[in-house]
Amino acid sequence: MMRLGTRLKCIENSPEVHRELAEGIGSLPGWCKGVRRKKTKTRRKIIEGSRKAYRELYGPRIKLKHWAKVLDDAMKARYVFAKTSPKVSGRSLGIRREIARGRL
């Protein structure tokens, strides 16, 4: 807050103060854009570097739709095993569920 005359005025509500600040610091709008651009570039470099490091350690990433296919195949194999296993017969639904979840 600034004291202008006998009244207190907030900077947000005072267009005169805004005008004076903008004229006094002419490079402020460009400086803000430059800093934002620099921070964005730095962030992109950091993310890109971390992705490269991740790929080097763990190999390429599998996309979500591929994961769904991999998981679907695994669940299908467990389900088929639970249906055809001699251990699972008749009404042993609990054991069938455990086999389907991969516990046995």
Q: Are 45 and 53 in contact (CB under 8 A)?
A: no
Give the pTM: 0.26
- Positions of the chain with pLDDT under 50: 1-2, 6-12, 22-27
Residues 73, 104: Cα–Cα separation, whole Å: 18
Query: What is the pLDDT at residue 7?
Result: 47
Query: What is the pLDDT at residue 78?
Result: 63
Residues 99, 74: Cα–Cα separation, whole Å: 12
The structure tokens listed for 31 are 């400086």
Q: Are 88 and 79 in contact (CB under 8 A)?
A: no
Read off φ and ψ for residue 75, nearest 5 degrees: -65, -35
Query: What is the pLDDT at residue 11?
Result: 46
Continuous segment of H or E residues that includes residue 3? strand 2-4
